[in-house]
Structure 1
Amino acid sequence: MKILIAGAGEVGFELSKVLSEEHHDVTVLDVRHQGLQRVIENLDVLTVEGNATSPHDLVSAGAKDSDMMVACTSVDEVNIIACMMAKRLGVKSAIARVRNDELSQKDSPITPSELGIDVLIHPEESAAIEIHRLIKRASASDIVPLAEGKMQLVGIRVEKNSAVVNKNLRELAVEYRDNNYRVVAISRRGTTILPNGKSRLMELDHIFVLTKTEGIEKLAKATGHKDERIRQIMIAGGNEVGRILARKLSHDDQNWKIKLIEPDRDTANNLASELRDILVLNGDPTDPNLLATEGIQEMDAFISVTDDEESNIISALMAKHLEVKKTVALVSKSQYVPLSQTIGIDSIVNVKAAATDEIHRNIRQGNLLIVKGLHGINAEIIEVEAGKNCEILNRPLKNVKFPKGMIIGALLSEDDVEIATGDSIIKKGDRVILFVQPQAIPKVEELFHD
């Protein structure tokens, strides 16, 4: 597929990297020479220096011949105008990253399609939804719901002296035979391991486990996590992510006590008027004295979502030092993500990765249903439908030779959700949950083609 990407920032760079690895024909358009230079030095894609709102520059970048336009610059207006123009120039499909949620609201007087936008991406809402899930599961560092919520991919740290330390997966399968789960990846000191039955779990491994939703509490206990209930929550930052998150938390039936700290007085006043069930304070959310005065030591969860990602990390570390059970920091630089658990933060949420995942899901075509990247892991979770020409239908999985870099985690039929074993058989129409490294994705598409 020929894809034109407007914007060479973090989102554009990561998207270009993933798509070029999947052998798409990618062109990156940006007005900033410095941003393009990073793309030129690291990726095998075409680059054009120009303005995404200029018809001439869009034509120079190949808009007339492109199958898809992805506008992901840092400016909403540029993304909207770029999609409008690209659609007029003949691009078949247009995706725009827009921070302001006004266009996506049901009562909006103008719909995205009327502006030539086929898919509208709102990364701040995606990030808020991810944080909301993490708060509801205190022991998890990552949660990806699958199969309409019947199954979860859970990221969790193996604590020191937990019951699973120094045991291989074959031993654990026998010991926990009554629990329906599968370890699909291990992150160990920055290295991604796709495990087999002989792989052993070590202290402080960050493991990714496919489990039925009802099995998460048993998983947390086995990996050494206590039953941690969240009651009091402090949110640092009342920006778009903080506002959406606070609204979601206040609408839950958990009876949480929530404090939100916002430095801008007008924003704080507006939030106080909108969020009646939340105590909104005007102050610097990175000030240790203010946080101490407002009782950070008494909090069960501390979520830092200000626009200063370094301050988010430092504030979350300080909260962890004060023994807050759950700490979450919002970042935008992908290089901060692998550091999160190494330095003690429970979860890192990358707002730009959320945008990249959402865009990527809409670029993928055919029978690939869900695509989700994972923090600190060089792989992604994919849900794919087995078509009539799927090469591995009606055979036990233990008799199939799979490409390197791919693990089948679960099968979803009309009647059942099943953790995959060697005896599992894929039938036509089944949905298959895979854990795949980037180099193996073309092989996956070959195996599961319609």
Structure 2
Amino acid sequence: MKIIIAGAGEVGFHLAKLLSYESQEITLIDVNKESLAYADTHLDIKVIKGDATSIAILKDARIESTDLFIGVTASETTNITACVLGKQLGAKRTIARISNTEFIRHKDEVGFTKFGIDELISPEALAAAEIELLLNQSAFNDSYEFEDGALTMFGLNLSRTATFVGKTVKEAAEILPEIHFVPIAIQRFGTQYTIIPRGDTQFKEGDSVVFITSEGGAEELCRMTGKVNREVKNIMILGGSQIGYKSARDLSKTYSNIKLVEKDREHAIELADQLPDTLVINGDGRNVDLLEEEHISDMDAFIAVTENSETNIMSCLVAKSKGVRKTIALVENMDYFELSQSIGIDTLINKKLLAANNIFRYIRKGEVVAMTKLNNMNAELLEFKVKSTSKVCNKYIKDAGFPRSAIVGGVIRDGQAHIALGDFKVTEGDMVVVCCLPRSIKQVEKMFL
């Protein structure tokens, strides 16, 4: 697949790196010579210095034969313009990164596809949505929804008190008469290996386990793992960034006591005007005395989303030491993900990863409806729509030929979620969620063509 990425910033570079690992033909366009030089020396891609809204530059990148054009510069105007031009010049599909989430809310009304933009993404809006989902399910450290929550992915660490520690997957399934969750990936404590569980796979203390759940599955998981989905009432947000603002705005619709701490005085005043249901505090969130004055120990959740990853991590650790149960930190460095559990922060989120997950489904073969890469694990979670021509159509899962390094997590049929085991028959129109290791992705894709 030939892909052009406009913008060699954090999101663009990360996307180019991930896609180059997939042996895609990547061209990266940016006006910044230094950003391009770094990408050119570190990645196996083509780079072009210039403005992505220049027709000459787009033609130089061979836009007429491009399968996917992605505009992820810092300017949403540039991204929109470049996508419109790219589509007119022959790009098969275009994706624009935007910061104004009004565009996403009204995309059908405005009709962006009519003038050449197939998809709009906002990393900040994706991060805010992720935060809201994590607060709604406070017992878990990772989450992702399929089909508006018909099936939900949850990640957690198994403690010694978990009912099924020491048991195999098959033995654990026998504890409950009607199962509403299934494990799809396990990472052993202290290792970097991702295991796709089978019936004889044993759960061990300290395992990081990812589950797919249908309705009622989250409560069952909490009961069996000793986790408590405590109600969140009091929330403190550090940083009035776009993510901080969007999180405060969205969370204030559900939660009554939200405090937002912003260091810049003028920006804090602006935020106070824009967020009437949020208490905006002008101050440095790294100041422990300030946090104590604002009763941080009474907070149920602390969310650090400043532009500085280290500030976010350190402030979450301070919040944890003051008794805050749920901590979420925004980080830019992907290497920090491996440290999150060992240093005591509940969840780390990354805009680049969220944006990449959202875009990645367009390079997968078969009709991929949604996908996410599992945090800290070498596996992907893909949602396919079954066509009449798909190899899995009208077959039982146990007879469909899935490789051992892939597992079906669940099936959504007519809006109804099913935890699908081996004797479940897949039919046309089903939405099938599959977890697979990188080595089996191509084989799984072929099953849904």
Q: Same fold (TM over 0.5)?
A: yes
2:313 partner amino acid: I
Cα 1:404–1:11 change in 2 (3 A) is: farther
Structure 1 equivalent of residue 173 of structure 2: 173
Q: Cα distance, 1:214 vs. partner?
A: 1.5
Q: Distance in 2 between matches of 1:111 and 1:416?
A: 30
Q: Distance in 1 between matches of 2:368 and 2:107?
A: 32
8 Å Cα contact 1:144-1:153 kept in structure 2:
yes
Alignment of 1:31-430 (within 5 A): 31-36=31-36, 38-40=38-40, 43-101=43-101, 103-104=103-104, 106=106, 112=112, 116-188=116-188, 189=190, 190-252=192-254, 255-362=255-362, 364=364, 366-414=366-414, 416-430=416-430
Structure 2 equivalent of residue 9 of structure 1: 9
Q: Structure 1 residue 30 and structure 2 residue 30: aligned?
A: yes
Q: Cα distance, 1:344 vs. partner?
A: 1.0
Cα 1:386–1:94 change in 2 (3 A) is: closer
Q: Distance in 2 between matches of 1:429 and 1:77?
A: 37
8 Å Cα contact 1:69-1:86 kept in structure 2:
yes
Structure 1 equivalent of residue 432 of structure 2: 432
Deviation digits for residues 229-261 of structure 1 (CA, Å, limit 9, x no counterpart): 212111111111111111111112xx5311111
Q: Cα distance, 1:23 vs. partner?
A: 4.8
Deviation digits for residues 70-96 of structure 1 (CA, Å, limit 9, x no counterpart): 111233344234334434433233222
8 Å Cα contact 1:250-1:278 kept in structure 2:
yes
Q: Cα distance, 1:133 vs. partner?
A: 0.7
Cα 1:112–1:268 change in 2 (3 A) is: farther
Deviates further, 68-77 or 376-385: 68-77
Cα 1:202–1:107 change in 2 (3 A) is: closer
8 Å Cα contact 1:398-1:422 kept in structure 2:
yes
Cα 1:13–1:404 change in 2 (3 A) is: farther
Q: Distance in 2 between matches of 1:75 and 1:220?
A: 43
8 Å Cα contact 2:151-2:410 kept in structure 1:
no
Q: Distance in 1 between matches of 2:115 and 2:287?
A: 43
Specify the SS of the correspondent of 1:213. coil
1:117 partner amino acid: I
Cα 1:391–1:93 change in 2 (3 A) is: closer
Deviation digits for residues 205-246 of structure 1 (CA, Å, limit 9, x no counterpart): 221101113120220222221342212111111111111111
Q: Cα distance, 1:291 vs. partner?
A: 1.0
8 Å Cα contact 1:22-1:439 kept in structure 2:
no
Deviates further, 373-382 or 135-144: 373-382
Q: Distance in 2 between matches of 1:87 and 1:400?
A: 38
8 Å Cα contact 1:337-1:375 kept in structure 2:
yes
- The runs of at least 4 consecutive aligned structure 1 residues that moved more than 6 Å come to 107-111
Q: Distance in 1 between matches of 2:394 and 2:111?
A: 45
The gaps in structure 2 that reach 5 residues or longer are none
Q: Cα distance, 1:326 vs. partner?
A: 0.3
Q: Cα distance, 1:27 vs. partner?
A: 1.9
Cα 1:105–1:398 change in 2 (3 A) is: closer
Q: Distance in 2 between matches of 1:280 and 1:74?
A: 27
Q: Distance in 1 between matches of 2:384 and 2:66?
A: 26
**CA RMSD in angstroms, aligned pairs only:** 2.6
Q: Cα distance, 1:433 vs. partner?
A: 0.9
- Identity rate of aligned residues, in percent? 37
Deviation digits for residues 173-206 of structure 1 (CA, Å, limit 9, x no counterpart): 1223433211000123333221112222222222
Q: Cα distance, 1:368 vs. partner?
A: 1.5
Specify the SS of the correspondent of 2:48. strand
Q: Distance in 2 between matches of 1:192 and 1:397?
A: 22
Specify the SS of the correspondent of 2:370. strand
Aligned length: 447
Cα 1:256–1:338 change in 2 (3 A) is: farther
8 Å Cα contact 2:358-2:370 kept in structure 1:
no
8 Å Cα contact 1:102-1:108 kept in structure 2:
no
Q: Cα distance, 1:44 vs. partner?
A: 4.1
Q: Distance in 2 between matches of 1:446 and 1:345?
A: 39
8 Å Cα contact 1:69-1:83 kept in structure 2:
yes
Cα 1:113–1:402 change in 2 (3 A) is: closer
Cα 1:62–1:430 change in 2 (3 A) is: same
Q: Distance in 1 between matches of 2:439 and 2:33?
A: 29
The gaps in structure 1 that reach 5 residues or longer are none
Specify the SS of the correspondent of 1:284. coil
Q: Distance in 1 between matches of 2:36 and 2:199?
A: 44
2:351 partner amino acid: V
Q: Cα distance, 1:104 vs. partner?
A: 4.3
Specify the SS of the correspondent of 2:216. helix
Q: Distance in 2 between matches of 1:119 and 1:413?
A: 25
Specify the SS of the correspondent of 2:372. strand
